[in-house]
Structure 1
Amino acid sequence: MMTAGAQNDRLLTLLRVGSIYAPELLETNDILIADGRIAALGRDLEIPAGWPIRVVEARHLTAVPAFIDQHVHVTGGGGEGGCGTRCPEITAHEIASMGIGTVVGVLGTDSISRSPADLLAKVRGLKAEGISAYMYTGAYRVPPPTLTGDIQRDLAWIPEVIGLGEIAISDHRSSQPRQDEIERLVSDTRVGAMLAGKRGICHFHLGDGKRGLEPLRRLLTDTEIPADQVIPTHVNRHPALLEEAAAYALAFNACVDVTAFEEPGDGLSAFDAVLRLLERGVPPERITMSSDCNGSLPEFDTQGVYLGMKVARNTALIADWQRLVREGVLPLESALGIISTSVARVLGLHDRKGRIAIGFDADVALLDSELQPQQTFVAGKCVYDVGS
């Protein structure tokens, strides 16, 4: 097998695999990569002698679009119990080892000791290590902290900024934003994204407060903002919120994001949440999954007093996704949407990510028969190899 840094002396890479899900099953088994993009797909492609190409023989593996995690505390979350409870940063190896090629970095409760500038620096560091990385400007609090002092300028002038988030609502840790403040934040993000040629998603953190999704329902009912401008996350925090999320998705033809909690507590696992949403009639293309990786999992009493915390990891994301396929809840091609293709659409990256297709970024995960990532390629470079 090829090591992660062994292909720098080759201009082309040819992946010879057993099967390709793009996410639909293709009648091809070879992927030719050139200049970080997919140049050709075929069966038993013949390469002229003397071409500067590296061939990866992986006939026992299945190629799928590398996964996209739209909610990662790349600089670490936490801090709700003081400076000693700040979570650690995530590494490129931790990301790629799960078959993830693209992440979106977020700030959470703590935007004082951590800042958008820290987040941007970490995002650019991950890019230097081979990961495709983006970020949301802002954090839990309103008004949100930004890089330039303005949401629209962040979107227009900072390539890595693709939206606003995670703005906290229905949570005792939020700024308790008024409805008009929420509407202004979303509209500013929308216009800034239009000027920048981006989707400009507004990523909303849902707590377990009694208002639930009401602020977003009002937003979509009382304004001209389209439903694809916002996505609520952590909607599986407790069963009642998930039921509300199902009704919200169906009423507005909107997307909802479930979190792969390692220990759901009073909530539901990502597997159970997706299963229930599907049972309620929510189309799979309106459901996405994310990890909340390296964020904190704090515990509070009924008065909001901090009791303790754990650090979230991204292992549950892959495990719950694998279970959806293994237990026949979704076929592989549909399940890939929840963790890749649909996520790319939600983020506005669908013109180059989330598919194995000619002209798309060569972000490819090679999975074994147990759907476990064995190699991860980002822009054609191997950033993870289980054998190295």
Structure 2
Amino acid sequence: MRRIDSREAGLLTLLRVGSIFAPEPLEATDILMAGGRIVALGRDMEIPAGWPLRVVEARELIAVPAFIDQHVHVTGGGGEGGCGTRCPEITAHEIASMGIGTVVGVLGTDSISRSPADLLAKVRGLRAEGIAAYMYTGAYRVPPPTLTGDLQRDLAWIPEVIGLGEIAISDHRSSQPRQDEIERLVSDVRVGAMLAGKRGICHFHLGDGARGLEPLRRLLTETEIPADQVIPTHVNRHHALLEEAADYALTFGASVDVTAFDDAGDDGLSGFGAVSRLLARGVPVARITMSSDCNGSLPEFDAQGAYIGMRVARNTALVADWQRLVREGVLPMEQALGLLAGNVARVLGLEESKGHLAIGFEADVTLLDGDLQPRQTFVAGKCLFDANGREGTPPPA
């Protein structure tokens, strides 16, 4: 039993839960949060009477690091079929209800009716609602649209910008960038990120074109760019690309991002199936992340490449695929959490504050029930989602 020192006092929230995966299982069952951070972990903590404290009794729930979704069309994607096919924006409630505390906003095909400025405004709006939100500058096309007219300035001067993306390659909707253009973009981002003290990743959209990952393989083979600078996403678009992604990760010690497609007709290409296959190929779990691509479009094209229809992606498949990996024993809880938390934090350069439940880290906590369904989501210590309308109670006098 630990008694909290008065110097740790403030506007406090105490979570009393059944168990904690940080992601490793802890002996602690109490999480004390103050000033947006975790200030103590313990069991049966005693809090002095009269302190400004809210107690959340959730003994039936499991505390885990709040999930991080590194690929979200927060302003809506789509538009491939004209203005009537633009997807809607996502809301803070839709994000938090899936146990997600941090998102990275991205533009896609449409950077004409939507812009990096629109994206920045939405990101700041989500932050005002409590979500930890960031963004990539750029979009599918090359040269990429920016906020300041220069990639390095965007990274250096805009705090919310953590990289470039999603640059499209091996896709009929891309700008068909030459190899030297790809190398220059990644180099600019690397230098801009160094000046800003950021990781500065380049987030590459992979289409189903025959070139696959070849432009990125050449980049890492022919230049001095480190593998952790480049993150390919949608690597489970088809089976051949998934196999290539496994070889790419193993050859370069690189990370790859699996998309939890909510229209995956082939279970082998679902988030669950793709992660399972990468693991079977020997890719370390630490080199795999999952993202949702939510509020992007799910367009359909005919054999000639003409648009014929669209649905809007949601983030429900992301959590469902993750749950299935745990339930079916593909990964234990502590390793599976990396796919949506610790691994993603490392990839984005946020590993010193997110993706782990530890003293000094941001108080981003998701509470799961026995079916691994999110029931409450806290971001910086603030409850943004509560499935039961549960209210905190003051400690006994």
Q: Which residue of 2 aligns with 1:24?
A: 24
Deviation at 1:128, TM superposition (A): 0.5
**Cα offsets for 1:86-134 (capped at 9, x unmatched):** 0000000000000000000000000000000000000000000110000
For 1:138 and 1:94, locate their aligned partners in 2 and report how far apart those are by CA, in whole Å. Answer: 25
For 1:201 and 1:265, locate their aligned partners in 2 and report how far apart those are by CA, in whole Å. Answer: 30
For 1:189 and 1:29, locate their aligned partners in 2 and report how far apart those are by CA, in whole Å. Answer: 42
Deviation at 1:49, TM superposition (A): 1.1
Deviation at 1:263, TM superposition (A): 1.2
SS at match of 1:288: strand
Query: What letter corresponds to residue 353 of structure 1 in structure 2?
Result: K
SS at match of 2:339: helix
Q: Which residue of 1 aligns with 2:283?
A: 282
Deviation at 1:138, TM superposition (A): 0.1
Deviation at 1:71, TM superposition (A): 0.1
Q: Which residue of 2 aligns with 1:331?
A: 332
Aligned residues: 379
Which shows bigger deviation, 48-57 or 263-272?
A: 263-272
Aligned identity (percent) is 84
Q: Which residue of 2 aligns with 1:345?
A: 346
Q: What is the correspondence of 1:252-331 to structure 2 with a 5 Å cutoff?
A: 252-265=252-265, 268-331=269-332
For 1:48 and 1:159, locate their aligned partners in 2 and report how far apart those are by CA, in whole Å. Answer: 39
SS at match of 2:133: strand
- What TM-score do you get using the length of structure 2 for normalisation? 0.95
Query: What letter corresponds to residue 128 of structure 2 in structure 1?
Result: A
Which shows bigger deviation, 122-131 or 266-275?
A: 266-275
Is 1:221 equivalent to 2:221 in the alignment? yes
Q: Which residue of 2 aligns with 1:370?
A: 371
Query: What letter corresponds to residue 64 of structure 1 in structure 2?
Result: V
Structure 2 alignment gaps of length 5 or more: 1-9, 390-397
Is 1:71 equivalent to 2:68 in the alignment? no
Q: What is the correspondence of 1:1-388 to structure 2 with a 5 Å cutoff?
A: 11-265=11-265, 268-388=269-389
The CA RMSD over aligned residues, in Å, is 0.8
For 1:71 and 1:379, locate their aligned partners in 2 and report how far apart those are by CA, in whole Å. Answer: 21
Deviation at 1:265, TM superposition (A): 3.7
**Cα offsets for 1:232-275 (capped at 9, x unmatched):** 00000000000000000000000000000111146710000000
Q: Which residue of 2 aligns with 1:4?
A: none
SS at match of 1:103: strand
Query: What letter corresponds to residue 68 of structure 2 in structure 1?
Result: I
Structure 1 alignment gaps of length 5 or more: 1-9
- What TM-score do you get using the length of structure 1 for normalisation? 0.97
Query: What letter corresponds to residue 30 of structure 1 in structure 2?
Result: D
For 1:101 and 1:201, locate their aligned partners in 2 and report how far apart those are by CA, in whole Å. Answer: 20
Query: What letter corresponds to residue 293 of structure 1 in structure 2?
Result: C
Query: What letter corresponds to residue 236 of structure 2 in structure 1?
Result: N
For 1:92 and 1:63, locate their aligned partners in 2 and report how far apart those are by CA, in whole Å. Answer: 21
Query: What letter corresponds to residue 16 of structure 1 in structure 2?
Result: R
Deviation at 1:302, TM superposition (A): 1.9
Deviation at 1:44, TM superposition (A): 0.8
Which shows bigger deviation, 201-210 or 298-307?
A: 298-307
For 2:336 and 2:122, locate their aligned partners in 1 and report how far apart those are by CA, in whole Å. Answer: 30
For 1:16 and 1:314, locate their aligned partners in 2 and report how far apart those are by CA, in whole Å. Answer: 28
**Cα offsets for 1:281-328 (capped at 9, x unmatched):** 000010000000000000111211111110000000000000000000
For 2:163 and 2:297, locate their aligned partners in 1 and report how far apart those are by CA, in whole Å. Answer: 22
Deviation at 1:206, TM superposition (A): 0.0
